[in-house]
Amino acid sequence: MKLSVLLTSLLASAAAGAAVTPREEQDSPVSYAGFKVFRVATNGRPSRVEARLADSGLVYEQWNDDVATHIDVVVAPGNVAAFEALGSLSYRVMHEDLGASIAAESEGAHAFSLMKRQAGVSGEELHKRQIEDGSWFDSYHNYEDHIDYFRALHAAFPNNSEIISAGRSYQDRNIFGIHLWGADGPGKPAVLYHGTVHAREWIVAPVVEYITRQLVTGYNDGNEDVVSILDRYDFFIFPFVNPDGFVYSQTTNRLWRKNRQPAPTGTCFGRDINRNWVFGWDSNPRGASRNPCSETYQGEAASDAPENRGLDAYLRSLRDGPGVKLFIDWHSYGQYILYPFGYAETLYAPEQGKWTRTASFMSQYIRDSSSRRTTYTFGASGSTLYATTGAAPDHAYVIGGADFSFTIELSDTGDYGFVLPPERIRGVAEESWVGQQIVLALLDEEFFDGVGPAQLYQGQT
């Protein structure tokens, strides 16, 4: 199966010329010209709105699963008039023309790649400047440029970092990452970040990159807080754990979510890598889908996505080595800080108290640091948002032994959703760094002893 897909795609892309990388299936790019995105209020009764949309016979795509207050729907041009004529739905427009929003979103990435080629300088040289001036965060970027940016981060921190790999994707891309350490390292307990498991969540990569940059430059500059963090923990940062999906979201379909593995039967593609983890897999019918065409398709068996196998092996090797102190799976959108359990809505981990306090400090500090007063909602993921089976944070906690295990859903709360304008990148990145400084400062805290920093932080807000 894999070989024939590969051959077909090689032949097809040879015919199409150099515009498509040889590993991509020969799908023509999906156009969202004239598509509108609506936020439909559900007012706590989502099934009524869902039934209304279903009865109308309209074809639409839904962006969010947390439908208690609203459903965000993408409606094709031919259906817009019928949607607006439905009546009795309360809604507002998120994207007037999704195609135009997507085009505007990517302008900077294309301009950057072009400039890099024309300037004739090496990627590393250019990125070195960008690490210094921060201009990287003014636009989104192409996958190959992201790889160069990480090479440049490593080059800026040669004696305290290495480029690492968690195996290969279905289409044989390297799942690369960077490992950072401080004095007397490596070998300290691990902080493990996974980014971009869902391909269309483009804000994730620049946020993870910004945090990496702050760690590298902060350590180099002797920033006390950063030195203290990196002298206590090693960081293992994987910005693209679903590289095939991310590339596909750039070349072909901006709204692609899953990996690019073909279904066992039928014509649908993609497993949801974040429903494919071993712990809790297939344990709750509300937590994932068995339908290969679903956005939350869990796979035919636990860990049958190659990306998942590589990431799990890496997680287990950290567990059996220095141990995992903090795991974060980075997503968008909705502004949530979530922790186990996801697979059951009524099950609470013994660590829930300290996780709640930590998330509450993160949320307060992010809000107070932000000119937009960005507010994160926090809680156990199953009860706060919705059930998820085979999701990374449950697995990282139960199997990986992570002391703290979070999902962070970045901005926004639904003005733009997945297609967040580039002007918003820097603010989200800066706020996220504020949040990370809080959680990293609290990792070794004795909670609820009446004396530690957890008490002090509360006093300040």
Ligand X SMILES: *[C@@H]1O[C@H](CO)[C@@H](O)[C@H](O)[C@H]1NC(C)=O
450: partner contacted, choices ligand X, Zn ion, none (Cβ within 5-8 A by kind): none
Strand partners, 95: 37
151: partner contacted, choices ligand X, Zn ion, none (Cβ within 5-8 A by kind): none
**Angle 438-328-204 from CA coordinates, rounded to 5°:** 95
Residue closer to Zn ion (CB basis): 148 or 209: 209
Residue closer to ligand X (CB basis): 150 or 297: 150
> Given candidates 141, 254, 331, 354, which one binds Zn ion under the rule CB under 5 A?
331
3-class SS of residue 275: helix
The residue from 25, 409, 430, 431 that is catalytic is 409
267: partner contacted, choices Zn ion, ligand X, none (Cβ within 5-8 A by kind): none
Residue closer to ligand X (CB basis): 159 or 371: 159
141 binds Zn ion (CB under 5 A): no
**Could you tell me the sign of the dihedral formed by the alpha carbons of 401, 403, 409, 410, in that order?**
negative
The answer to whether the beta carbons of residues 92 and 38 sit under 8 Å apart is yes
3-class SS of residue 266: coil
Taking the complex as a whole, the smallest distance from the CB of residue 201 to Zn ion amounts, in Å, to 5
Residue closer to ligand X (CB basis): 158 or 459: 158
Backbone angles phi, psi at 377, to 5 degrees: -90, 145
Residues that bind ligand X (CB under 6 A): 158-159
- In the bound state, the residue with its beta carbon closest to ligand X is 159
The answer to whether the beta carbons of residues 43 and 33 sit under 8 Å apart is no
Taking the complex as a whole, the smallest distance from the CB of residue 11 to Zn ion amounts, in Å, to 33
Contact window for Zn ion (CB under 5 A) among 123-131, 298-306, 326-334, 375-383: 326-334
Task: Output the furthest CA–CA distance in the chain (Å, rounded).
Answer: 69
198: partner contacted, choices ligand X, Zn ion, none (Cβ within 5-8 A by kind): Zn ion
Determine the Cα–Cα distance for residues 229 and 224; give it in Å rounded to an integer: 9
Token couple for 75: 């409606």
Determine the Cα–Cα distance for residues 31 and 126; give it in Å rounded to an integer: 32
Taking the complex as a whole, the smallest distance from the CB of residue 127 to Zn ion amounts, in Å, to 27
271 binds Zn ion (CB under 5 A): no
44: partner contacted, choices ligand X, Zn ion, none (Cβ within 5-8 A by kind): none
254 binds Zn ion (CB under 5 A): no
Residue closer to Zn ion (CB basis): 198 or 354: 198
Residue 209 a catalytic site member: no
The answer to whether the beta carbons of residues 372 and 307 sit under 8 Å apart is no
Residue closer to ligand X (CB basis): 214 or 388: 214
Taking the complex as a whole, the smallest distance from the CB of residue 159 to ligand X amounts, in Å, to 4
Task: Supply the Cα-derived Rg of the chain in whole angstroms.
Answer: 22
Taking the complex as a whole, the smallest distance from the CB of residue 348 to Zn ion amounts, in Å, to 23
158: partner contacted, choices ligand X, Zn ion, none (Cβ within 5-8 A by kind): ligand X
Burial label, 181 (beta-carbon count in 10 A; 0-12, 13-18, 19+): buried
Residue 2, number of CB atoms within 10 A of its CB: 11
331: partner contacted, choices Zn ion, ligand X, none (Cβ within 5-8 A by kind): Zn ion
The answer to whether the beta carbons of residues 19 and 399 sit under 8 Å apart is no
Determine the Cα–Cα distance for residues 346 and 358; give it in Å rounded to an integer: 21
DSSP notation for 118-153:
HH---HHHHHHHHHHH-GGGGS---HHHHHHHHHHH
Taking the complex as a whole, the smallest distance from the CB of residue 413 to ligand X amounts, in Å, to 42
Taking the complex as a whole, the smallest distance from the CB of residue 251 to ligand X amounts, in Å, to 37
Determine the Cα–Cα distance for residues 296 and 288; give it in Å rounded to an integer: 5
Residue closer to Zn ion (CB basis): 281 or 457: 281
Token couple for 312: 């799990």
Residue closer to Zn ion (CB basis): 146 or 198: 198
Helix ranges restricted to H, 17-97: 46-56, 77-84
159: partner contacted, choices ligand X, Zn ion, none (Cβ within 5-8 A by kind): ligand X
Backbone angles phi, psi at 197, to 5 degrees: -65, -35
Residues 46-105 that bind Zn ion (CB under 5 A): none
The answer to whether the beta carbons of residues 32 and 254 sit under 8 Å apart is yes
Lay out the site mask for Zn ion across 195-214 (x = CB under 5 A, - = otherwise): ---x----------------
Residues identified as active-site: 409
Residues binding Zn ion (CB under 5 A): 198, 331
